[in-house]
Amino acid sequence: MAGKPRVGVLALQGDVREHVRVLQGLGADARPVRRPDELAGVDGLILPGGESSVIDKLARAFGMREPLCAAIADGLPVFGTCAGLILLADRIDGGIEGQQTFGGLDARVARNAFGSQTASFETDLDVPALGAPLVHAAFIRAPVVVEWGPDATPLASLPDGRVVAIEQGALLGTAFHPESTGETRFHARFLDRVRVRSGAGAPAL
């Protein structure tokens, strides 16, 4: 698949297939990643939604935690959705005992900020970086960003001001699931970063 950005989706738990489908629709060579050697073969990575504490435990069990942390620290473009946003953050509120993140994003994220599964909801968000139309976002046991450093930029907020999308360099995170609502612009924005790192072209900002 020469010329296509090679993007992995961490496939330890969560909505992997949905992300692979969106990425392939945008022209990427998308593949599941479960082992360190598979991680080494991609130009970018998606951390999908699921259960952040389970993904954390499985990453350690599969020997993936250290390679993931090292790859992120080395500048690998990473897009985290819902649980993936939690795993990408440097700091976490509401984690279970011993829960760790992969880090890289200078932010503090509150886990399960909206309560249980029954508190899931959908809404339309204004995301100036993406332009029109509004983003239809699905929040499922979603986190929120409660604090961020000077290098991180909020991209979207709820009407009450809580930040639900953020980026920092090659890192992008959303508290919601664009892969489940037909929204592809966040994935496209992420792929721009992947192409820059792999030398395939400049981002379309």
Catalytic residue among 18, 38, 69, 177: 177
**179 tagged catalytic:** yes
Distance CA 88, CA 109 (A): 9
**Contact between 32 and 11 (Cβ < 8 Å):** yes
DSSP SS3 for 111: coil
DSSP SS3 for 144: strand
Beta-carbon contacts of 46 under 8 Å, excluding residues fewer than 6 positions away, are 7, 8, 9, 10, 19, 23, 78, 79, 80, 81, 84, 190
Cis (ω within 30 of 0) for the bond into 133? Answer: yes
Catalytic residue among 19, 82, 167, 183: 82
**19 tagged catalytic:** no
**136 tagged catalytic:** no
Catalytic residue among 19, 167, 179, 187: 179
- Supply the residues annotated as catalytic: 82, 177, 179
